[in-house]
Amino acid sequence: MSSTHGRVIALHLGVVLLLFALQFVVGEYMRLSLTRIMLFAIFAMGYNLLYGYTGLLSLGHAMFFAVGLYVAALGTTLAGLSAPTAFVAAIAVGALFSLTIGIVALRASGVAFMIVTLMFSQAAFLTVLYFGNYTRGDEGIVISESIRRFSFAGLPVDLTDPVTRYNLALALLMLAMMTCLAIVRSSIGHVLVAIRENETRTEMLGYDVTRYKLFALVVSGTLSALSGAAYALMFAYAGSTLASIQYSIHPLLWTLLGGAATILGPLLGTAVMFALVDLASGFTNANLLAVGVVLIVLVLFFPKGILGTIRERWLPWLP
Amino acid sequence: MSFGPHLLLAILEGTVAAAVLALTALGLSLVFGVMRVVNVAHGEFYMLGAMVAWWLSRLVPAHPAAGFALALVGAPIAVGAVALATERLVLRRLNYEPEATIVATIGLLFVIQQLALTVFGADAKPVSAPFNFRIVFPWFGYSGYKLFVVAASAVVLLAAWWVLARTRFGLIMRATQYDSETAAAFGIPVDKVYAAVFVTGAALAALAAVLLVPIQQAHYLMGLDPLLMSFIVVIIGGLGSIKGSVIAAIVIGMSDGIISVFFSPTLASILGTLLVALVLVVRPQGLFGVPVR
């Protein structure tokens, strides 16, 4: 156990160090892509906690991402909050929102849960469009440069600077990774996996299954909101596309591709999918076609994803 | 226009919406009821039906009615063929496992949508109604074709009920829905039943789209709305309950149409979704459903 513990820590520390080192090697375009990948990977990691570990397939995670996105964007532009305050507010609202949605949606189980999350997310998307006067719909909110330059604890922070953005995204990714790792390796994490494997049995053993599921959903939704808020502030944009159904499917795809129920799977899946779309855009502009084909191929021939397969064959200790 | 006639107009619009929705949702409900498969690509079968209808109606420029008749037959067949391929090549290989089939049909949704965009283009495509006949009320004139849609939908729904309740095929289907293992033990070719049900579900969506397309133009993104509306219907009616789906389709379609006329379609969709939340809190298995075994 303790040797496993060491290996796990070393692996994840290694990934963080690798990402830190990469910024000195790669070019400007690559650095921007990696920043984006790291932020979306937080979204996917949150998703994975619910889907991979707890076995709850949500088709509506875009709404959690959108809550973070819009609280940050509207908070800074309309309510006049500073960027750090808006960021914290977005996370708090995200947690509260996930709690509310969770209480209602978790009354449904199985297929009904998937459909209900899909529809809630669609209602959230329509709400964004309905209040187009404030959200500016598809066109989106643009956050001005002056808001994105602020001082935090006496230090000047400039979110328009690519290097600052990269390292902040990396820090947030590390935070999300540590959160997931801590949960997954704790007794709570084991109960979550037990629920995934056999919900009835877990309930009969005396665990309050609904409460555990709600916990997973709130953490998952909050991480998604965090990712959305960071995205809005760093890339200065919040548009309705980011709340659409596609952005509910993306984290599912990234998680499945990298390997559900692995900590690093969502990060790997996001990176691979970005590379794939980048590659595909060379000869077609139908990105969604690539998404669709990858989903079908994965589920038919490769259901455990990249890291899931590696864990099965070679590294049984991978968390 | 004063309130009375305005309400009449809203009710008429609601009835048309309900008629089309009932057909679409029946397809989804049938597939879920018998196969336990949530077909997220159902809306794309609908869109494909509308696109094929547009394409076929242009082949016969002589008279709109001829093109429409061709579409009425051709579109469900074409979409049914796509559904059959999906069933054989994807769903069957996944053993109809609920989670895997959802992911696969999401993939299919994107594939069909993008291919439709590539093949047919991004512009909306009009199909002319087979006949132009206006019913003149004292306050406004109303398209006779829309009332034809309601009648046609009622005929198809009754036919579906007759097949399910009175024919041998319906009996086999219900037996498979009730317990597929026992049905297989009694010599029912369950996999053929599944294929037939999936094709029928897709064909119903296509048929609904052909009926609707003279009212609303065909567009490659038109599938999402009916999909979500059908989901609302199927959840409120009770997953797997076909009777519940039809009743819910009429209620939801009517209220959606009425709210859309008086307020805005966006508000109607938001309210529909919140209604689902309410139903789930009170009755998680839906209004007419039985808890899933």
pLDDT in tens, A123-182: 888 888 888 778 887 777 877 777 777 777 777 777 778 888 898 899 999 999 999 988
Distance, in Å, from the CA atom of B5 to the CA atom of B172, rounded to the nearest integer, reads: 47
Q: SS3 letters for chain B? A: CCHHHHHHHHHHHHHHHHHHHHHHHHHHHHHHHHHCCCCCCHHHHHHHHHHHHHHHHHHCCCCHHHHHHHHHHHHHHHHHHHHHHHHHHHHCCCCCCHHHHHHHHHHHHHHHHHHHHHHHCCCCECCCCCCCCEEECCCCEEEHHHHHHHHHHHHHHHHHHHHHHHCHHHHHHHHHHHCHHHHHHCCCCHHHHHHHHHHHHHHHHHHHHHHHCCCCCECCCCCHHHHHHHHHHHHHHCCCCHHHHHHHHHHHHHHHHHHHHHCCHHHHHHHHHHHHHHHHHHCCCCCCCCCCC
Beta-carbon separation of B94 and A299 below 8 A: yes
Taking the CA atoms of B134, B136, B140 and B145 in sequence, report the sign of the dihedral they define. Answer: negative
Nearest residue in B to A292, CA atom: B107
In this complex, the residue of B106, B224, B270 whose CB is nearest that of residue A127 is: B270
pLDDT score of A255: 92
CB contact B267 to A (< 8 Å) = yes
Write the Ramachandran bin of A137: left for phi over 0, alpha for psi from -120 to 50, otherwise beta: left
CB contact A183 to B (< 8 Å) = no
How close B166 gets to chain A, by Cα (Å)?
Answer: 30
Residue A183 DSSP class = H
Beta-carbon separation of A122 and B273 below 8 A: yes
Beta-carbon separation of B280 and A108 below 8 A: yes
Beta-carbon separation of A296 and B281 below 8 A: no
Which residues contact residue A119 at a Cβ distance below 8 angstroms, ignoring those fewer than 6 apart? A60, B228, B231, B232, B235, B273, B276
Q: Say yes or no: ipTM exceeds 0.85.
A: no
Percent of chain B with pLDDT over 70: 96
pLDDT score of A2: 55
Query: Which tens digits make up the pLDDT trace of B172-181?
Result: 888 888 888 8
Residue A83 token pair: 């960027």
Predicted confidence band of residue B293 (pLDDT cuts 50, 70, 90): very low
pLDDT score of A47: 95
A291 interaction partners in chain B (CB closer than 8 Å): 107, 110
**Residue A81, helix vs strand vs coil:** coil
pLDDT at residue A15 tops 60: yes
Residue A142 token pair: 């643009």
Nearest to residue B41, comparing CAs of B99, B104, B98, B91?
B104
pLDDT at residue B102 tops 80: yes
B293 interaction partners in chain A (CB closer than 8 Å): none
CB contact B115 to A (< 8 Å) = yes
Lowest mean pLDDT among A182-196, B90-104, B252-266: B252-266
Distance, in Å, from the CA atom of B29 to the CA atom of B14, rounded to the nearest integer, reads: 21
Nearest residue in A to B92, CA atom: A300
CB contact A204 to B (< 8 Å) = no
Which of B28, B32, B34, B106 is the best residue to mutate to test the A interface, defined by the most A CB atoms within 10 Å of its own CB?
B106
| Contacts across the A-B interface (CB distance below 8 Å) | 116
Nearest to residue A216, comparing CAs of A74, A63, A47, A37?
A47
B108 interaction partners in chain A (CB closer than 8 Å): 292, 296
Average pLDDT over residues A289-315: 83
Nearest residue in A to B239, CA atom: A112
**pLDDT, mean over chain B:** 85
pLDDT at residue B1 tops 70: no
CB contact B114 to A (< 8 Å) = yes
Taking the CA atoms of A177, A178, A181 and A184 in sequence, report the sign of the dihedral they define. Answer: negative
The larger pLDDT score, comparing residue B174 to residue B129, is at B174
In this complex, the residue of B40, B103, B114 whose CB is nearest that of residue A286 is: B114
Average pLDDT over residues A72-87: 86
How close B60 gets to chain A, by Cα (Å)?
Answer: 32
Nearest residue in B to A56, CA atom: B99
Which of A118, A240, A281 is the best residue to mutate to test the B interface, defined by the most B CB atoms within 10 Å of its own CB?
A118
How close B187 gets to chain A, by Cα (Å)?
Answer: 29
Which of B273, B274, B293 is the best residue to mutate to test the A interface, defined by the most A CB atoms within 10 Å of its own CB?
B273
CB contact B270 to A (< 8 Å) = yes
Matching residue, tokens 């997220």: B40
B112 interaction partners in chain A (CB closer than 8 Å): 292
Contact A50, A56 (CB under 8 A): yes
CB contact B280 to A (< 8 Å) = yes
Contact A294, B103 (CB under 8 A): no
Predicted confidence band of residue A305 (pLDDT cuts 50, 70, 90): confident
Contact A283, A65 (CB under 8 A): no
Beta-carbon separation of A112 and B273 below 8 A: no
Beta-carbon separation of A116 and B276 below 8 A: yes
Which residues contact residue B185 at a Cβ distance below 8 angstroms, ignoring those fewer than 6 apart? none
The reported pTM is 0.85
The larger pLDDT score, comparing residue B202 to residue B246, is at B202
B234 interaction partners in chain A (CB closer than 8 Å): 115
